[in-house]
Amino acid sequence: MNDHVVEARSVEKKLGRGAGEVHALRGIDLALRRGELTLLMGPSGSGKTTLLLVLGCMLTPSSGSVTVCGTPTADADKEALARIRREHVGFVFQSYHLFPTLTATQNVQLALDIRGEHGRRAAQKARDALVMVGLEQKVDSLPGGLSGGEQQRVAIARALVANPSVVLADEPTGALDGKNGQSIMRILADTAHERERAVLVVTHDPRVVPYADRIVEIEDGLIVQERTDRPRMPTAVPFRA
Amino acid sequence: MSLVLTLASRNLFHDRLRFVATMVGIVFSVVLVMIQMGLFLGFGRMVTTMIDHASADLWILPKGAKCFEDPSLLDVKLRDRVATMEGVSWAVPLVIGFSDWRLERGEVTPVFIVSADLRDGSLQPFNVVDGNVQTLTQGANVAVDRSYFDRLGVSGVGSTAEIRGRKVRVVAVTDGIRSFATTPYVFVDLKNARNYTGTPRDRASSVLVRLKTDADREKALSAIRAQVGDAEVLTSEDFRSRSRSFWLFGTGAGAALFAGALLGVIVGTVIVAQTLYSSTKDHLNEFATLRAMGSSNAYIYTVIIYQALINAVIGFAIAAGIGSIVVQMTAKSALPIVITPWLMAALFALTVVMCVASGIGAIIRVVRIDPATVFMR
């Protein structure tokens, strides 16, 4: 059976029009595999986020193809893309994007709510997801009462609670100190390895490299290097703020 | 239960100042519409109060008579012709008209004379709280409403005054027979009514007809119409409708009330639309996050619609409370505001429609959200 959860073939993406047009992706071939944490690295403006948006069904490619769990995205309209995201993709954002007026449990539950899962069972699933990321003491806290690391863990719980096939994380450690960054990367690595999910982390933070199974480097919209010979995941705390 | 309601209510209550502004807008709008429509209903009831309390099935009126207070006269012989017709129980002439009431202290005030027929009971003083209406026929006696005591310079049964230079005595007192024109109604017997209004003996303002209970109404109506020549024969319901139509629309009063109500709806819609739009704009990032997470547009619309509905329910509840106070305060006034259960239900529906329609702008804004924006912030 094919382990490729997301597959991009010859993906090109042009953004803007006329004189302002930017060729953000210039023929990307990339597959995200179940049980693997992939790092997507590159300098600013290299096309990392655009590729993440295309793989996450926020954007459709200008040419080439993307399939998510076997579903092609090329001809999908906005609602169809949303359905693919809802069914298969979990997102972790750099700025967490939690709902400030909802508790941690409700924030996580929201991911189930939009999928039509309501009520006590959904609330229990949300609490279980928070326990999984170590926030059993914070289930009723509002985001304003949580630290940055805790907020990111709520965001990860939200991304995982509906059991997506792929988790796409955009600079998940970007706003965190070393200790919290390490904690977040451990959760994402566990998600890939223990829960058998495909995890893609977009980052330019070299400290997360030890957690990767594969590192993809992108420059000017092209994959310039792909390697698996990353340093072993350390047992000691590697992050230092 | 879905989190939609939770999310909608938190979005609303999060910014209390804006929520209060929204409530003020809705309450102002609904109370304004409620009062305008309550006045409309109150006015509509008041202009037909005499028709409502007459026990007639049919009214024979001078051609083109527009309302109960119409000063036109018809030939009273019609009454004799109709009274003997098949299916007719009784036919009674009615005389109405303006007259002058001179208080004991010498002041003069206009009054509206209504002839009461006590034998057949066609139109009598109603809501009698003191005295005896049966004595109206025993001389220059009158029945007046206690709400006009000050105006008429009387204090109750036994008080005296003058109508057109003739001394009259109050023998009965009613409660709540108010005139929308603020001219007090004064009930007298038919003979005195002619004297006080200057109506000739062979003339009457109208003839009230009561049909026998077993009469074929349509047949009787057609037969009477054939007998009255130029005069018109209307059922009580038709006469009521014609009177309302004249006073409410013929005079422009109803249009003014409706215009006020429309203004209320417009103001309310604009305020709610503005605050909902601004609330949605403030929460665009959250809506974009929802969209990025894969939520359908319908889910997001539901959040906005729920916000609108919460606004509607709370705003309407406050407005209804204020409305009921206004109703109580105006109950004894010259023009009471009438709020019926139907009006309440219609206003609630209007409030919901107004608030939901106000959400359209917000929904249009949300439709344009690009979920990718959450990766740029």
Contact state of A85 with B293 under an 8 Å Cβ cutoff: yes
Q: Give pLDDT, residue A85.
A: 95
Contact state of B7 with A99 under an 8 Å Cβ cutoff: yes
Instruction: Report the distance separating Cα B288 and Cα B302, nearest Å.
Output: 15
Chain B interface test: which of A97, A125, A170 (most B C-beta within 10 Å): A97
Tell whether B94 and B127 lie within a shared domain.
Answer: yes
| Residue whose C-alpha is closest to residue B354's, from B17, B34, B137, B7 | B34
Q: Give pLDDT, residue A54.
A: 94
- Give the model confidence (pLDDT) of B86-121 as tens digits: 899 999 999 999 999 999 888 899 999 999 887 766
Most confident of B8-17, B184-193, B335-344: B184-193
Tell whether B309 and B367 lie within a shared domain.
Answer: yes
Nearest chain B CA: its distance from A38 CA (Å): 19
- Domain final residue, candidates B235, B262, B291: B235
Contact state of A79 with B285 under an 8 Å Cβ cutoff: no
Query: Does B174 fall in a domain?
Result: yes
Alpha-helical regions (H) of chain B: 4-14, 16-46, 49-53, 77-83, 149-152, 190-197, 217-227, 236-244, 253-282, 284-292, 297-330, 341-367
Q: Nearest by CB to B371, which of A58, A99, A170? A: A58
Which residues 6+ apart lie within 8 Å of A44 measured at CB? A204
Contact state of B372 with A101 under an 8 Å Cβ cutoff: no
Contact state of A79 with B291 under an 8 Å Cβ cutoff: no
- Give the model confidence (pLDDT) of B141-192 as tens digits: 999 999 999 999 999 999 999 999 899 999 999 998 888 777 999 999 999 9
Query: Does B201 fall in a domain?
Result: yes
Q: Which domain holds residue B121?
A: 53-235
Instruction: Report the distance separating Cα A54 and Cα A49, nearest Å.
Output: 9
Query: Does A143 fall in a domain?
Result: no
Contact state of B374 with A93 under an 8 Å Cβ cutoff: yes
Tell whether B187 and B121 lie within a shared domain.
Answer: yes
Tell whether B75 and B199 lie within a shared domain.
Answer: yes
Q: What's the average model confidence in pLDDT over B115-133? A: 85
Other residues' Cβ atoms within 10 Å of the Cβ of residue B6: 20
User: Which of chain A's residues have a Cβ under 8 Å away from the Cβ of B296?
Assistant: 79, 82-83, 86, 114
- Residue B207 amino acid letter: V
Nearest chain B CA: its distance from A241 CA (Å): 22
Number of A to B CB contacts under 8 A, please give it.
83
Tell whether B292 and B325 lie within a shared domain.
Answer: yes
User: How many independent structural domains does chain A possess?
Assistant: 1
Query: What is the interface pTM, i.e. ipTM, of the complex?
Result: 0.88
Contact state of B286 with A99 under an 8 Å Cβ cutoff: yes
Which chain B residue lies closest to A54 (C-alpha atoms)? B372
Contact state of B286 with A89 under an 8 Å Cβ cutoff: no
Contact state of B3 with A118 under an 8 Å Cβ cutoff: yes
User: Which of chain B's residues have a Cβ under 8 Å away from the Cβ of A101?
Assistant: 7, 10-11, 14
User: Which of chain B's residues have a Cβ under 8 Å away from the Cβ of A118?
Assistant: 1-3
Question: Residue B74: pLDDT above 80?
Answer: yes
Query: Does A233 fall in a domain?
Result: no
User: How many independent structural domains does chain B possess?
Assistant: 2
CA distances from B337 to B37, B242, B259, B361 (A): 8, 21, 17, 35
Instruction: Report the distance separating Cα B39 and Cα B257, nearest Å.
Output: 8
Contact state of B371 with A111 under an 8 Å Cβ cutoff: no
Task: Sort strands B185-189 and B108-116 into parallel, antiparallel or unpaired.
Answer: parallel
Tell whether B73 and B168 lie within a shared domain.
Answer: yes
Tell whether B189 and B296 lie within a shared domain.
Answer: no
Chain A interface test: which of B285, B293, B300 (most A C-beta within 10 Å): B293
* Residue A132 near residue A190, CB atoms below 8 Å: no
Query: Does B242 fall in a domain?
Result: no
Query: Does A180 fall in a domain?
Result: yes
Name residues 297-356 of chain B within 8 A of A (Cβ). Answer: 297, 299
Nearest chain A CA: its distance from B300 CA (Å): 9
Please give the torsion angle defined by the CA atoms of residues B60, B69, B168 and B196, in that order, rounded to the nearest 10 degrees: -70
Cα end-to-end span (Å), chain B:
31
Tell whether B22 and B67 lie within a shared domain.
Answer: no
Q: Which residue has the tokens 């990025």?
A: B292
Tell whether B70 and B170 lie within a shared domain.
Answer: yes
Nearest chain B CA: its distance from A54 CA (Å): 10
Which residues 6+ apart lie within 8 Å of A229 measured at CB? none
Q: Nearest by CB to B10, which of A86, A95, A101? A: A101
Tell whether B149 and B293 lie within a shared domain.
Answer: no
Q: Give pLDDT, residue B373.
A: 84
User: Which of chain B's residues have a Cβ under 8 Å away from the Cβ of A106?
Assistant: 3, 6
Q: How confident is the model at residue B43 (pLDDT cuts 50, 70, 90)?
A: confident
* Residue A63 near residue A71, CB atoms below 8 Å: no
* Cβ burial, residue A41 (10 Å; 0-12/13-18/19+): buried
- Token pair belonging to B190: 């038919």
Contact state of A82 with B294 under an 8 Å Cβ cutoff: yes
Instruction: Report the distance separating Cα B353 and Cα B314, nearest Å.
Output: 14
Other residues' Cβ atoms within 10 Å of the Cβ of residue B28: 17
Q: Which domain holds residue A92?
A: 4-96+165-227
- Domain final residue, candidates B206, B235, B264: B235
* Residue B27 near residue B326, CB atoms below 8 Å: no
Tell whether B75 and B207 lie within a shared domain.
Answer: yes
Helix (H, G, I), strand (E, B) or coil at B350: helix
Instruction: Report the distance separating Cα B61 and Cα B233, nearest Å.
Output: 6
Query: Does A151 fall in a domain?
Result: no
- Give the model confidence (pLDDT) of B260-272 as tens digits: 888 888 888 888 8
Tell whether B158 and B306 lie within a shared domain.
Answer: no
Instruction: Report the distance separating Cα B330 and Cα B124, nearest Å.
Output: 26
Q: Which residues of A touch B (CB under 8 A)?
A: 49, 52-53, 58-59, 78-79, 82-87, 89, 91, 93-95, 97, 99-102, 106, 109-111, 113-115, 118-119, 158, 170
Mean pLDDT taken over chain B = 89
Nearest chain B CA: its distance from A217 CA (Å): 19
Nearest chain B CA: its distance from A119 CA (Å): 5
Q: Give pLDDT, residue A240.
A: 38
Helix axes of B341-367 and B297-330: crossing angle, nearest 10 degrees: 150
Q: Give pLDDT, residue A231.
A: 59
- How much of chain B, in percent, has pLDDT values that exceed 90? 50
Residue spans of chain A under pLDDT 50: 1, 235-241
User: What's the CATH code of the domain at A84?
Assistant: 3.40.50.300
Query: Does A137 fall in a domain?
Result: no
* Residue B110 near residue B181, CB atoms below 8 Å: no
Nearest chain A CA: its distance from B3 CA (Å): 7
Query: Does B241 fall in a domain?
Result: no
Q: Nearest by CB to A97, which of B4, B14, B289? A: B289
Which chain A residue lies closest to B303 (C-alpha atoms)? A114
Query: Does A147 fall in a domain?
Result: no
Question: Residue B122: pLDDT above 80?
Answer: no
User: Which of chain A's residues have a Cβ under 8 Å away from the Cβ of B286?
Assistant: 97, 99
Contact state of A110 with B372 under an 8 Å Cβ cutoff: no
Contact state of A58 with B375 under an 8 Å Cβ cutoff: yes
Query: Does B248 fall in a domain?
Result: no
Alpha-helical regions (H) of B72-176: 77-83, 149-152
Query: Does A19 fall in a domain?
Result: yes
Q: Nearest by CB to B3, which of A82, A83, A110? A: A110
User: Which of chain A's residues have a Cβ under 8 Å away from the Cβ of B1?
Assistant: 118-119
Query: Does A89 fall in a domain?
Result: yes
User: Which of chain B's residues have a Cβ under 8 Å away from the Cβ of A109?
Assistant: 3
